[in-house]
């Protein structure tokens, strides 16, 4: 449905996206994982036609993106929850959804049905009449997601959808993303939180300085670039860390030499993958 073919975009001397290629597979949550400034939002903006690539092409449903705003076909199939929340603060949740629904050509009973369904989807029905200015960060994020799907798009792009939200809203957003996937939507999910990519994404593109460093399932990325894990062993002497790819064997060897009180195995994760690929930590 969405294809990036050697796409680059610069701002002045800065190459924000550098020769990026990937293709969405059916039914997947596709992750763009990278630190702040990696080029994720720039890529998303090209995916939805807000920015035009300097080089390469973005294809949507097999066609080069039609950037003409009068061309409704593309817009109907795409839903974007932008990183910087795009809501009318002085309007209620309900009024925001009605407004954006009308922009997508909805009206009458159909619009009211969609508004009610989307409020319910993000669990804001009870507060639907409150002005958005009185919402918490988590509630705004959830409404931002509801606006992205008001027109029931096939492809939903979520740009850092959990920034500035409480843990409860964060979990609610995870559940909703999984629900959208189960309903058959294609999802592009950008984040700089490796736990989110690890939990939600079927495949993850690791992006650094505009470049694609690796693209695969989480398990395959860890297998290829994760390196050894760490066996943390506690004994009378205190805590010791041992790098190992075979924790049971290492534990056995240690137990032959010393009394192990308790232990913990820390397998490699996407953080380790990023570190091994770039030489830098994902978190700064
Ligand atoms: N409109 C713009 N003008 C100039 N520089 C920009 C603009 N948009 C993004 N950048 C720069 O491009 C790089 C990538 O930004 P962005 O795509 O927002 O990254 P991310 O979303 O991964 O944090 C950053 O260095 C950012 O400062
Ligand atoms: Mg961004």
Choice between 193 and 237, residue whose per-residue pLDDT is larger: 193
CA of 191 to the centre of ligand 1 (A): 14
Model pLDDT, residue 2: 93
Model pLDDT, residue 283: 72
Q: Is 173 in the pocket of ligand 1 (CB under 6 A)?
A: no
Model pLDDT, residue 68: 59
Number of H helices, E strands in the chain: 10, 13
Protein residue whose Cα sits closest to atom 5 of ligand 1: 11
pLDDT in tens, 154-209: 999 999 999 989 888 899 999 999 999 999 999 999 999 999 999 999 999 999 99
**Cα(104)–Cα(45) distance, rounded to whole angstroms?**
19
Q: Is 82 in the pocket of ligand 1 (CB under 6 A)?
A: no
The tokens for 187 are: 């999802």
Model pLDDT, residue 69: 52
Protein residue whose Cα sits closest to atom 25 of ligand 1: 37
Q: In this structure, how many other beta carbons lie within 10 angstroms of the beta carbon of residue 12?
A: 6
Portion of the chain with pLDDT greater than 90, in percent:
85
pLDDT of 74 above 70: no
Model pLDDT, residue 61: 80
Q: Which CATH number is associated with domain 2-217?
A: 3.40.50.300
Extents of the domains making up the chain: 2-217, 228-267
Cβ atoms of 250 and 265 within 8 Å: the answer is no
Q: What is the DSSP letter of 127?
A: G
Q: Which residues surround ligand 2, an ion (CB under 5 A)?
A: 40-41, 83
pLDDT in tens, 137-150: 999 999 999 999 99
Model pLDDT, residue 20: 98
Cβ atoms of 144 and 87 within 8 Å: the answer is yes
**Cα(263)–Cα(175) distance, rounded to whole angstroms?**
32
pLDDT in tens, 101-139: 999 999 999 999 999 999 999 999 999 999 999 999 999
Model pLDDT, residue 70: 52
pLDDT in tens, 38-71: 999 999 999 998 999 999 999 988 777 655 555 5
């Amino acid at each position: 449905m969405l294809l990036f073919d050697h796409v680059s975009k610069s701002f002045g001397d800065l190459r924000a996206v550098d020769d990026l290629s990937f293709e969405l597979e059916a039914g997947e949550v596709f992750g763009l994982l990278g630190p702040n400034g990696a080029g994720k939002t720039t890529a998303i903006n090209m995916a939805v036609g807000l920015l035009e690539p300097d080089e390469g092409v973005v294809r949507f449903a097999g066609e080069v993106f039609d950037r003409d705003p009068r061309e409704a076909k593309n817009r109907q199939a795409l839903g974007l929850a932008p990183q910087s929340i795009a809501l009318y603060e002085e309007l209620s949740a309900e009024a925001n959804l009605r407004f954006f629904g009308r922009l997508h050509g909805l009206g009458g009973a159909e619009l009211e049905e969609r508004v009610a369904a989307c409020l319910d989807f993000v669990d804001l029905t009870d507060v639907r009449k409150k002005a958005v200015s009185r919402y918490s960060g988590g509630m705004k994020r959830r409404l931002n997601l509801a606006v992205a799907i008001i027109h029931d798009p096939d492809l939903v792009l979520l740009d850092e959808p959990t920034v500035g939200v409480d843990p409860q809203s964060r979990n609610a957003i995870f559940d909703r993303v999984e629900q959208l996937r189960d309903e058959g939507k294609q999802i592009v999910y950008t984040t700089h939180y490796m736990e989110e990519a690890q939990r939600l994404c079927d495949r993850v593109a690791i992006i650094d300085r505009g470049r694609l460093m690796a693209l695969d399932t989480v398990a395959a990325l860890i297998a290829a670039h994760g390196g050894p894990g760490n066996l943390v062993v506690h004994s009378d002497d205190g805590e010791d860390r041992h790098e190992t790819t075979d924790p049971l064997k290492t534990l056995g060897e240690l137990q032959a030499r010393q009394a192990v009180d308790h232990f913990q195995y820390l397998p490699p994760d996407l953080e380790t993958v990023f570190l091994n690929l770039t030489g830098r930590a994902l978190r700064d």
